[in-house]
Structure 1
Amino acid sequence: MSTLSITLSLALLAVIASAASLTVLVRSWAIRKSALVHPTERCSHTIPTPHGGGIAIAAISIILGLLFSMMDWVPDYSMVAFMLLGFVMVALGVWDDFGDLSPKFRLIVHFVVVGVGLASVPSLPVLSVFGTAVDTSEIVALWPLLAVCWVWLINLYNFMDGIDGLAAIQALVLFGGMAVNFWFMGHANWSWICLFILGAVLGFTLLNWPPAKIFMGDGGSGFLGFVIGFMMLLSASITHVSMWSWVILLTLFVADATTTLLVRLLTGQNVLQAHRLHTYQKLATKLGSHSKVTLGYGAVMLFILLPCSILANAYPHSGLFIFSVLFVLFSVLAYWFGAGRLTSFSRRGC
């Protein structure tokens, strides 16, 4: 192992320890201020629990932006945008967690952040669509589509942060899986970028694992949705790693959230109302365990989605086809498990 690798490994351990320590501090502050999430019929928890732990993930990740720039792994102007926009996202989420934030205002800010984020990457991705290379930088009509997809990613990550450890393990396997993809494609620097962000999440996960001692909150889930979208676009612009590999690893979350939303829309429900109708929430209720569902989702990502994401890089024109097959499969399963559908239990307010 080279001296640089040893130094980076030690730095990674420091990131994990720092994130864990900061999470402990945020938890102590939340308890002192009675910033607790209390159980309700729409909540999957049974005891008051402090929230806002995602602040630790965001703070460490924003600081990491300086490291990535100093190591000359990414363009400086992209990292400046990453840090500034990341701060806006975590501030917005904390406001939503501890204050009274209008959903419309939040959505407007999301689109502004995403618009600036799209402008801050060197170039928009060239996507392989069933064997045809589509340069989204040159097709202006696709820019709004990219913005909508990124905003949807931010919000669906928030939707999927509903049981202990689930959003955290999604991020851990996603960034761990992408570290493998970048290594496979010969981009060691980006493997380290993914591992460092993984480390920031891992430090938080130590206290978020079932039974959770602190929740991520909107400050963490919205921030992670932003970071994933940003790193996905940035890496696609400066490496040869397929952006579909990111999307494939996200398939389980995307299918669950999208199916739930569509079913609720088609059945005339108020989609702005809080609920407990996602597949993972129904499974947690049925199994009586958060850890089983969290581990199950992680296992699907690790043993099914990760190999498929590597396949999308080994065969560059296969990405959209692989994602489409997986998305349909998991959407059908989500519908079969009752995603979005009201039951006698859920009508009490979930």
Structure 2
Amino acid sequence: MAVRSWAVRRNALALPSERCSHTIPTPHGGGIAIAVISIILGILFSVLDWVPDPSMMAFISLGFIMLALGVWDDFGDVSPKLRLFAHFVVVGIGMWSIPRLPVFTLFGLEVDSAVAFLLWPLLVLSWVWLINLYNFMDGIDGLAAIQALLLFGGMACNFWYLGYVEWTWICLFILAAVLGFTILNWPPAKIFMGDGGSGFLGFIIGFMMLLSASQTDASLWSWIILLTLFISDATVTLVTRVLTGQNPLQAHNLHAYQKLSRRFGRHKPVTLGYGGVMFFVLVPVSMMANVIPHSGSVLFLLVLLPACVFMIHAGAGKTESGHV
């Protein structure tokens, strides 16, 4: 609420644009509160000795850089090339701070990314893509917030099932940091997350994903499964736009969730729909990845393929006329 009051006083309003699906000016920058609380929680996790100190020092410092970069972008004008370069630098340092890169299974085969050097660029690219896709998917009221809530809530269930009490609390604390914002961002939103929040969330999800894989036996695929809707929507949209000759760097509102919100004439049904799929389908499937050893990659494909078909059917990436 304090951030919203500050944004109103500063006239920091997100105006309707080609990228957004809202129709009235609304205060933005609400993600600043999520980032600040999460950084403070990082200090707490280190003090409680739940995670390695060097990793949390990197989390705190890199998280602050991501927050500053996002706020600069929200209230100023950051070059896309500079922003992308900063993302690669932050992710590279973040990977270096992880005690051990993950061992994950790929269709029954174990792959140790710590020694498979050729996978390092893929991990960097995937993390940078996660940061940016989270930003892309923050376009209607409540969607990015409910994704974060159910992601950390789902992983709390996974860690609790596996007996990792500290990691259960880590996820619940971060969930609580997002919950306060969600109340104000729920349709119709009183404040938007902004790049300061969406980019930061994409960063910490990637960080926590890799750090938990280095400290626990939780399947990395559980995190990825919970991100299925965001991955499929953002990826199908990007691929479709490239294949149809559109400029992939140009602002747009052609994601499946944006098209669906226009069909319904409001945001809430879409946000609830995405949230419902996560709660009733993706959370149970993410837990199956830990219940059934070495099943994560297969389970991810089983949920990714129908999700991609749905996004294609919804017209993700296509212009309203279906062509350029």
| Residue among 300, 303, 319 paired with 2:296 | 319
CA distance in 2, matches of 1:130, 1:138: 19
Residue 81 in 1 paired to residue 58 in 2?
A: yes
* Number of the residue aligned with 2:279: 302
CA distance in 1, matches of 2:198, 2:322: 27
Residue 274 in 1 paired to residue 247 in 2?
A: no
User: In 2, are the aligned partners of 1:277 and 1:346 still within 8 Å (CA)?
Assistant: no
* Number of the residue aligned with 1:239: 216
1:137-156 correspondence to structure 2 within 5 Å = 137-156=114-133
Residue 204 in 1 paired to residue 168 in 2?
A: no
What per-residue deviation string (whole Å, max 9, x for no partner) do you get for residues 273-320 of structure 1?
111100100110001121111011001001000110000001121100
| Residue among 270, 274, 279 paired with 1:293 | 270
Residue ranges of structure 1 left out of the alignment (5+ in a row): 1-23
* Number of the residue aligned with 2:75: 98
Q: CA deviation at 1:256?
A: 0.4
Name the SS for the 1:45 alignment partner. coil
Number of aligned residue pairs: give it. Answer: 324
Change (3 A) 1:73 1:291: same
Residue 193 in 1 paired to residue 170 in 2?
A: yes
Q: CA deviation at 1:41?
A: 4.7
CA distance in 2, matches of 1:313, 1:55: 33
CA distance in 1, matches of 2:151, 2:77: 32
- Give 2:301's aligned amino acid: S
User: In 1, are the aligned partners of 2:13 and 2:28 still within 8 Å (CA)?
Assistant: yes
- Give 2:148's aligned amino acid: A
Question: TM-score, with normalisation over the residues of structure 1?
Answer: 0.91
Further displaced range: 260-269 or 36-45: 36-45
1:219-258 correspondence to structure 2 within 5 Å = 219-258=196-235
Percent identity over the alignment is 68
User: In 1, are the aligned partners of 2:18 and 2:251 still within 8 Å (CA)?
Assistant: no
- Give 2:103's aligned amino acid: V
Residue ranges of structure 2 left out of the alignment (5+ in a row): none
CA distance in 2, matches of 1:145, 1:328: 21
Q: CA deviation at 1:42?
A: 4.1
CA distance in 2, matches of 1:75, 1:123: 11
1:25-64 correspondence to structure 2 within 5 Å = 25-64=2-41
CA distance in 1, matches of 2:322, 2:28: 26
What per-residue deviation string (whole Å, max 9, x for no partner) do you get for residues 169-222 of structure 1?
000000000000000011011000000000000011111011100000000000
Change (3 A) 1:172 1:248: same
* Number of the residue aligned with 1:169: 146
* Number of the residue aligned with 2:315: 338
Name the SS for the 1:105 alignment partner. helix
What per-residue deviation string (whole Å, max 9, x for no partner) do you get for residues 45-83 of structure 1?
111100000000000000000111111110011000000
- Give 1:193's aligned amino acid: I
Q: CA deviation at 1:268?
A: 0.5
- Give 2:16's aligned amino acid: P
* Cα root mean square deviation, aligned: 1.2
CA distance in 1, matches of 2:121, 2:145: 29
Name the SS for the 2:141 alignment partner. coil
What per-residue deviation string (whole Å, max 9, x for no partner) do you get for residues 251-284 of structure 1?
0110000000000000010111111100100110
Q: CA deviation at 1:346?
A: 10
User: In 2, are the aligned partners of 1:27 and 1:214 still within 8 Å (CA)?
Assistant: yes
CA distance in 1, matches of 2:13, 2:193: 12
* Number of the residue aligned with 1:20: none
Q: CA deviation at 1:345?
A: 9.9
What per-residue deviation string (whole Å, max 9, x for no partner) do you get for residues 69-120 of structure 1?
1111100110000000000001000111111100001000000000000010
- Give 2:268's aligned amino acid: S
